[in-house]
Amino acid sequence: MGQYFTAALKKGNNIIVVEKDHRGLKLMEHSYVGNYYVSAVVKAIRSCEGSSCQVAWIGDYALSESLNKNSKDFFLSRVFGQDKKKYSDVLAMAKAVETKKNAITLSVSESEMDDYEDHYLLNMDKKQFIHVRKAGDLVIHPLAILTCSNPGSGGNYYPHEGEDDEELFCSWCGDNIAYSKTKPSMEAWTEIKKDVFHEN
């Protein structure tokens, strides 16, 4: 059964749900450089007041599986650790996606795609960054993979066992993400190589 995804951003007490002009996109049906939906989310990150905001790509089964502590599929303990606030924030984002309550809805359509350019996405919490290059068709954009709320259940991205993408998958979920046109100073920052994400 397919699992569809919707991005949500949180800044302070405000949650923004980035709504597509149609429902029904699995993770790897839109996670590409230049895709209008991913571009809209990047544009929303870029406009976050104070330069960064929490980001989570919420799957349809997040509340019943990965965010439900009573579920056998509650796997995000490895992502959140003892950070109860971050878990609570992502839970609120997931509820906002499902109910649209207490959320600002940003509706986007393909015609509103932002002009695409090289950029860096910075994880302000983990001090990691990734360079996303302007490229042609079918180049994977890693943002949804990094901030995904729950894998499996028809999400259709399968990390490669024992490889870097297995450890990175969902590892940015709920983290504060910033947009930059310039590379951060290498001191105290770690670069994630974009080419670790590839389809089976």
Q: What pTM, to 2 d.p., does this model score?
A: 0.87
**Which residues, 6 or more positions from 28, have their beta carbon under 8 angstroms from its beta carbon?**
140, 156, 157, 199
The secondary structure element, H or E, covering residue 155 is none
Residue 47 has pLDDT above 90, yes or no: no
% of the chain with per-residue pLDDT over 90: 25
pLDDT averaged over every residue in the chain: 81
pLDDT of residue 126: 93
Q: How confident is the model at residue 62 (pLDDT cuts 50, 70, 90)?
A: confident
pLDDT: is 28 or 148 the higher one? 148
pLDDT of residue 156: 63
Give Cα 167 to chain centroid, integer Å.
15
Range among 26-35, 87-96, 106-115, 159-168 rated most confident? 87-96
Mean pLDDT of 75-98: 84
Tell me how far apart the alpha carbons of residues 193 and 53 are, in angstroms, rounded to a whole number: 22
User: Residues 125-157: pLDDT tens digits?
Assistant: 999 999 988 766 678 888 998 998 876 555 566
Give the count of beta carbons closer than 10 Å to the beta carbon of residue 188: 7
> What CA dihedral angle connects 85, 37, 146 and 185, to 10 degrees?
-90
